[in-house]
Amino acid sequence: MFDFMLTNLEIRALINSIVISLGVSFLSILLSFFLAVSLSFSRIPLKRLFSLLFLIPLLIPPYLHVFSWMHLLMFMGDYNLFGITSNLGIQILSSIPGVIFVLTLAYFPISFFIIHQAIDNIPLELIDAATLVARPVKILRHIIIPAVLPATLTAAISTFIVAFITFDVPAFLGKNVFITQIFKSFTFTGEITRALYLSSIPVLIVGSSWALLLLFLVRNRPFFSLQSLPKDKPYSIKQSPALTMLIFLIFVVLSLFSSVLPLGVIQLKNLLYEGVPLYTASSRGVIANTLWISIISSVFIVLFSSFIYLIIYRKRLGRIIFLSLLALPPITFGILFIYLFNRPAFTGIYATPIILIIAYSFRFTPLVCELLYTYSQQINPQYFESARLVYSPSWRKPRQTWRILNKIALPLYTPALFIAWMFSFWLVATELPITLLIQPPGFQTIITRLFIVLHYGAEELMSPMTFALLSVSLLPILAVYLFFRLGKKYGQ
């Protein structure tokens, strides 16, 4: 008989995951709010550069942050206490506060992007009027904070989800978390049913949070904005040069910790000690696999997500259900697809990269659907109302419906589809658990090669592969940038 009771080990792991996720979410919100407010209202140099630097950590696998900090703390040396040699820094890093610290550096860009966009969309006239009768502190408390509260809650839940389903950093630091228990239920005991049952617990926790947020606070509004209101002369807080310099130094230190350090330590170690060339670590085959699987999968994800969005996602219940599935751990997707497709009848799918494309499509559809929903809320509905008056769409008139899709909907949604493709490309290129579990024999991507190399001790190969992963991850970003650049040039 199936036992629905959690063991003591699973309860402790669940508590660890909740504590870590709440800590990462709380620190990310505080840090992101400070960064967003400072970038929007403070007179500091290099604002645009810092806005980009604060997004770079998303391109770096979280376990590379751990790897870099471990080596940096090793360089600092050990201490001897009562005849026992130890490293205090590594001990702190291996604790729950250390896991929270590393994951905050890796995932704060999620909440920063959402909150920064929300602040940029506060009407400037509202702030200008408030400055005539109120101090900056009151403006912050009574205007800015209430205006960005829905986005802040969205950022908190999103960061909580990402931290909860992360297994590589806690595993690297030896902390038992709930995702590890799900993986052990499948690999050590073969209890697929229990692994799926354990996976439903974070879905229920997150699903109830999304439901409360959608039903009572955000309702039908988007969780964040993809566009910013134009501001010819943005409001800025009058502050002393000393405070400006302090904020600037905080920005520099954070950029060093979250971007320069995880990349620099690996590159420096390779340069000084190993000196392994790029072609030795990252074969052309691995890079080619990452490129083509990311391109094809991202196209399928966008197509599948568009279908789901049109059929189900626009309803509030459908939105709650799909957003709840974001909390389903990637490991669970891998376990589920192994269980469903590891059969002789599906050898043509399971033994080929097709299984990866299918898994990616199901895994990332909720994110792309929410992106499309967010973008649709920023489109003037009068466009579609005017089109209906002209074409009168109906299932009996497919040509009329096709004209609306071709002449109105597709041109309006093209920017969102390009962004969705870019986002999906990056997600596939950096997805580890699903790829690691169900990749067919002889098929590897850069992210899985990095993980395997790290755990087998071939650390000298990490530097060039990290460079290759960043290069691949930047390709869709450059493509979308050129798309919008050309559109702006031609007035589209």
DSSP string, 137-172: HHHIIIIIHHHHHHHHHHHHHHHHHHHHT--HHHHH
pLDDT value of residue 279: 42
0.85 exceeded by pTM:
no
Residue 31, SS3 per DSSP:
helix
Contact 94, 14 (CB under 8 A): no
In the chain, residues under CATH classification 1.10.3720.10 are: 1-275, 276-492
pLDDT grade for 99, boundaries at 50, 70 and 90: very high
Instruction: Answer whether 353's CB lies under 8 Å from 206's CB.
Output: no
Residues 6+ apart with CB under 8 A from 304: 361, 365
CATH number corresponding to 1-275: 1.10.3720.10
Most confident stretch, 109-113, 393-397, 429-433, 453-457: 109-113
What's the angle, vertex CA 160, arms to CA 157 and CA 161, rounded to 5? 90
Specify the pLDDT at position 179: 85
Q: How far, in Å, CA of 315 to CA of 214, rounded?
A: 11
90 or 234, which is more confident = 90
Close Cβ partners of 236 (under 8 Å, ≥ 6 residues apart):
41, 42, 43
Alpha-carbon distances of 238 from 40, 121, 124, rounded to whole Å:
13, 21, 16
What pLDDT, in 10s, does the model give residues 374-400?
787 777 666 666 656 555 555 555 666
- The answer, yes or no, to whether residue 455 has pLDDT greater than 80, is no
Phi, psi of 396, deg, nearest 5: -85, -10
- Among 96-110, 385-399, 463-477, which is the least confidently predicted range? 385-399
CATH architecture of the region 276-492:
Orthogonal Bundle (1.10)
Average pLDDT score over the chain: 78
* pLDDT surpasses 70 at 341: yes
Average confidence (pLDDT) over 225-235 = 54
* Residue 84 pLDDT: 43
Question: Hey, which of 254-263, 270-279, 458-467 has the most confident mean pLDDT?
Answer: 254-263
Query: Please, which pLDDT band fits residue 82 given cuts at 50, 70 and 90?
Result: very low
Q: Which residues pair with 80 in a beta bridge?
A: 85
- Split at pLDDT 50, 70, 90, the class of 298 is very high
Residue 439 has pLDDT above 60, yes or no: yes
Q: What is the mean pLDDT of residues 237-244?
A: 76
Residue of higher predicted confidence among 232 and 287: 287
What average pLDDT does range 338-362 have in this prediction? Answer: 88
More confident residue, 444 or 213: 444
Read off the pLDDT band of 277 (50, 70, 90). Answer: very low
Q: 164-168, 203-207, 215-219: lowest mean pLDDT where?
A: 215-219
Predicted pLDDT of residue 85: 46
pLDDT at 395 (0 to 100): 54
* Confidence band for 404, pLDDT divided at 50, 70 and 90: low
Highest mean pLDDT among 73-77, 227-231, 433-437, 469-473: 433-437
| Total Cβ atoms within 10 A of residue 321 | 17
- Which carries the bigger pLDDT value, residue 131 or residue 288? 288
Tell me what pLDDT residue 73 has.
Answer: 78
